[in-house]
Structure 1
Amino acid sequence: MRDSIYEHFCTIFVGVATLFRFTAYDMSTFVIESLLYSAHVRDPSAIIPHAGYYGQAVKEVSSCLSTFIVPIILNYMKPKWALVMGSGIFAIYIASFFYINNYLYFSANFLMGIAFTLNYTAFSTYQMQFSTRKTLARNSARVWGIASFSLFASGCLYVYITSTHASTADEPSGQEEYRYYSQEETRTIFVFLFVSCIIALVMNAFFPSREVANSVASENPHEKLTLREQVGETVSVLVNPYILIFIPRFLNHGLFFAFYMNVYPTSLQYSTILARNYPMLTAYYSFTMCAGTSICGLLIAPLNRRFHDFGLRPLYYITMGLQLLTYLVATLTVPNWSTARPTTEGAILEPSVFWVCTVAFLMGFADSANISSNTVICSRLVPGRASHTYSAARFYMGVTASIIFFCSPMLTMRAHAIILTSATIISALSFNFAVKRVEKREEETRNEKKPVEA
């Protein structure tokens, strides 16, 4: 099989496997805060209030700590088998919802943090095996374009379960002001999500291992290191000057991730106006976000061919602009306290499906652009240490996400918007300087490799 065809095959196969894994993750994260609040209302001794936010925070803390473990695992394991391991832990996490309990839930979130970093790093490293520097941004965008259909699958699943299994039979009196999830509905959701995890696991096991000629992985050869050397290398990468200058970019990515995956979807379910008038609103959010992500994936490929290094400055500045617009629209159209608790209040503009879908589309587009940009940047920061670089990026993203999740029960939509806008502006201002440093180093390296003329 020619390398060009092989690249397309791997892109599709990896994208479909990621679709199944993300279907489970997306659906569970969108509903987690409201779903566990419903479980708390049914039995306060089973799960604490705001367990959805706090569980996500524990997962992010675990993800940060596992930054020191994952590169060691990848030192002895091929990326595809690391993905198999990560998918197995995903399945364990999903299975924990069959019996909701504080100890089981938070323990599963700690394991999930390890799986998250493992999958993030192994996935990014695996992409480098079937991509060249020229095609990495394109392949990454296409993989995420396919994987983004997990949002469509999640939406379809939400519609099916809400229309056939939603029940208020076990709903305590007076709790109808938010999106309530019955025990039967909760178990039905997670049966479907568990099956999706198993399909992803099986597909990961059949990933091909061949590298294309001039792959990014061959330009960043992985060295076998001892356990002590590996830990030292991970620490050294975390404080590497080229990593440190991109910290604002990683922190901004972590905040944005927390917002679109959990904070904003929770506000749709805690708002009385939205939850009562639009029972399928979370599905609409998933569908429209999927459209934004897919369209971004379709546009990046031709733009990447037309413009030199489109995956660096142009793609990231597009992302910054979309994020700022998203925060403005969300602040105007969502009840201020709906991010933290069930509320009957209104918003500056009347909450509606139109505004939710507008925000969802913008966030889907920005997310796809953000991930593609991150893949390109991390592949070039520390030559020969790609897996460490992806882990370092995930570490700094996780630090911010964990802080915002711990604080979310106390933050309004406007408070989130101020924090996010500030982080985005700081990231945009520092990004050009950081990229120039990387480009200057690459130019010096190329000049050193040129043969000296007689």
Structure 2
Amino acid sequence: MLLQLTPRRHELISVFMMSIGTTFMFLGYDVQSMMAESVLHSVSTKNPDRISEYAGYYGQAIQYISFAFFSLFTATIQYYISSKSMLVLSSILFTTCYIAYIHVNSYIFYSSQLLLGFAYAMYNSAEGTYLSEHSSRRTIDSNSALETGLGHTSLFFGGVTMLFVFHFVPHTFDGHFLNFDEHVVQVIYFSLMTLTIVSVVLFTFLPTKQFDSIALNTPRVTPSLLSQFKRFGESFTHLNTSLLIFTYVYMGCMVSFMYGIYPTSLSFTSETASDVYIIALYLLSSGAAAFLSAMFIRPMIKRLHKYKLIVPMAIHCISMAIVMILVYCSVPNEATQKPTSNMNVLITPSRYLSIVIGFLLGFADFTITMTRSVICQIAVPEYRAEMFSLTRIYQCVASCVILFISPYLTVTSWILILITFLLAGIAAMFAVLCRTHNNTVAAPIEPLEEEKDEKFTEEKA
């Protein structure tokens, strides 16, 4: 006799499978983002005609601008292709992009980054759609929390994967930075490609049956491309959207620094480049911080609901302030541009310091992402979907610009950019909160159920 699944168990299996598939897909993506510049710089040193020494920065910039461009169209694609098919296609594209590292050259690599931006944009649209198809209004919060929590573990397991790979893969240190032979590069990225294939398999077998889902109970209207662009235009001209541009630009700079600039500086600094495990441990600590944030910060915010978004904003500012101080004192000024043995720093860089910085950046990343999720829902309520797309577009364009000029930016330049946009971004978000909630600093974070019941009892009495 076959065991009949209840609708809730069916939901949980669907969301769990998608979450694990997401973890495997982004596991390799996170690793290659942090290693791209150091690996390609190593390849360029031996074969300068094949690819630029700054191809890692330029490739990520192309990927971000591709993401921003295709985000304008992926919302329309989901009306013609099922969310499951979009997830499968995006995971296949993620997998094939690693082929660019099997035999590195400019044409294949930059084309793969363009394709990766499209794959990411497609996944970004399909993720929310699949959740709405396998969640009711009663379970959407729980399912979203499960998917977010498991998805963030990709950073942690990416670090574990790097530790495992580098334990067996040979490497050399030339006194300035870590060298990767072409054979070693092939082994690393073939391993990542193999792990990403797991996401293809999991997405292929995702359940499609719906029960009392949000999507099933919502009328499905297929908008024209022209009407979608019209809505984008209307949301773009709203004052709150204009103010939040500063916040999204800051997010683009912060994410680029976390995933590209700081890990590259570890590879380009002679004191830390000889430690093959340092980037893996940095990645692992970032993932651990994100996971712990999901477990502890959100419940804390609910208990401090009177302070609303002030809590994650404050945690983010404190974390980033400590990060900028530690980076400024421990990273050689030119380590973001080229390999250096100049150790004119106040604090000697080390494995343990990079773990602390990674942990703080993990906290910062989670808090700003969570804050963005809330602000997008309240800033322009009638254009929620468009606001989520616009945040990605602004963030990606900012990342693209900053990564293209990164070869000319020192550590001091990066710190000044981060401070400037952090202050402007937080001020803009504060202004939007005040405008949205009658000049009071608030956000739609509801009090705990027991607190609601107490208030109701008092009012009734």
- Tell me the TM-score normalised to structure 1 length: 0.86
**Cα contact 1:87–1:115 (8 A) shared by 2:** yes
C-alpha change, 1:248 and 1:210, in structure 2 (3 Å) is farther
Alignment partner for residue 41 of structure 1, among 37, 40, 45?
45
CA distance in 1, matches of 2:8, 2:364: 28
CA distance in 2, matches of 1:290, 1:56: 21
Match of 1:394 in 2: 392
Match of 1:448 in 2: none
C-alpha change, 1:305 and 1:138, in structure 2 (3 Å) is farther
- How many angstroms does 1:350 deviate by? 0.9
1:289 aligns with 2:293: no
- How many angstroms does 1:125 deviate by? 4.6
After superposing the two structures, state which structure 1 stretch, 330-339 or 199-208, moved more.
Answer: 199-208
SS state of the match for residue 13, structure 1?
helix
1:199 aligns with 2:203: no
CA distance in 2, matches of 1:109, 1:269: 22
Q: Letter of the 2:346 partner, please give it.
A: I
Alignment partner for residue 90 of structure 1, among 94, 105, 109?
94
**Cα contact 1:326–1:363 (8 A) shared by 2:** yes
Alignment partner for residue 315 of structure 2, among 293, 318, 327?
318
Match of 1:271 in 2: 269
**Cα contact 1:326–1:359 (8 A) shared by 2:** yes
C-alpha change, 1:58 and 1:221, in structure 2 (3 Å) is farther
Match of 1:71 in 2: 75
* Structure 1 runs not aligned, ≥5 long: 444-454
- How many angstroms does 1:185 deviate by? 1.1
* Structure 2 runs not aligned, ≥5 long: 443-461
CA distance in 2, matches of 1:434, 1:113: 30
**Cα contact 1:336–1:414 (8 A) shared by 2:** yes
Alignment partner for residue 333 of structure 2, among 333, 336, 339?
336
Alignment partner for residue 342 of structure 2, among 345, 354, 361?
345
**Alignment length (residue pairs):** 435
Match of 1:452 in 2: none
Match of 2:354 in 1: 356
**Cα contact 2:301–2:312 (8 A) shared by 1:** no
**Cα contact 1:141–1:372 (8 A) shared by 2:** no
**Cα contact 1:221–1:384 (8 A) shared by 2:** no
Match of 1:425 in 2: 423
- How many angstroms does 1:130 deviate by? 5.5
Alignment partner for residue 230 of structure 2, among 232, 243, 251?
232
Match of 1:185 in 2: 184
Q: Letter of the 1:177 partner, please give it.
A: H
After superposing the two structures, state which structure 1 stretch, 153-162 or 255-264, moved more.
Answer: 153-162
**Cα contact 2:301–2:311 (8 A) shared by 1:** no
**Cα contact 1:137–1:304 (8 A) shared by 2:** no
C-alpha change, 1:349 and 1:180, in structure 2 (3 Å) is same
CA distance in 1, matches of 2:9, 2:307: 23
C-alpha change, 1:374 and 1:9, in structure 2 (3 Å) is farther
SS state of the match for residue 75, structure 1?
coil
Sequence identity, in percent? 25
After superposing the two structures, state which structure 1 stretch, 292-301 or 356-365, moved more.
Answer: 292-301
- How many angstroms does 1:295 deviate by? 0.7
**Cα contact 2:51–2:105 (8 A) shared by 1:** yes
**Cα contact 2:379–2:432 (8 A) shared by 1:** no
CA distance in 2, matches of 1:42, 1:225: 52
After superposing the two structures, state which structure 1 stretch, 237-246 or 18-27, moved more.
Answer: 237-246
- How many angstroms does 1:383 deviate by? 4.5
C-alpha change, 1:249 and 1:134, in structure 2 (3 Å) is farther
CA distance in 2, matches of 1:432, 1:127: 30
- How many angstroms does 1:429 deviate by? 1.4
C-alpha change, 1:297 and 1:35, in structure 2 (3 Å) is same
SS state of the match for residue 178, structure 2?
coil
**Cα contact 1:71–1:388 (8 A) shared by 2:** no
Match of 2:153 in 1: 149
**Cα contact 1:140–1:375 (8 A) shared by 2:** no
CA distance in 2, matches of 1:329, 1:219: 51
C-alpha change, 1:324 and 1:207, in structure 2 (3 Å) is farther
Map 1:3-82 → 2, pairs under 5 A:
9=13, 11-82=15-86
Q: Letter of the 2:392 partner, please give it.
A: R
1:280 aligns with 2:277: yes
CA distance in 2, matches of 1:142, 1:313: 24
CA distance in 1, matches of 2:77, 2:121: 11
CA distance in 1, matches of 2:434, 2:135: 24
CA distance in 1, matches of 2:77, 2:370: 24
C-alpha change, 1:275 and 1:373, in structure 2 (3 Å) is same
CA distance in 2, matches of 1:148, 1:45: 38
C-alpha change, 1:351 and 1:133, in structure 2 (3 Å) is farther
Match of 2:452 in 1: none
SS state of the match for residue 282, structure 1?
helix
1:302 aligns with 2:306: no
Alignment partner for residue 119 of structure 1, among 117, 123, 126?
123
CA distance in 2, matches of 1:250, 1:62: 17
**Cα contact 2:177–2:273 (8 A) shared by 1:** yes
C-alpha change, 1:6 and 1:237, in structure 2 (3 Å) is farther
C-alpha change, 1:48 and 1:260, in structure 2 (3 Å) is same
CA distance in 1, matches of 2:303, 2:396: 34
CA distance in 2, matches of 1:258, 1:124: 24
C-alpha change, 1:262 and 1:16, in structure 2 (3 Å) is same
1:86-117 CA distance string (max 9 Å, x none): 22221221122111111111111111112222
1:279-337 CA distance string (max 9 Å, x none): 21111112211211111011134235434488744323322332222222122122221
- How many angstroms does 1:342 deviate by? 0.2
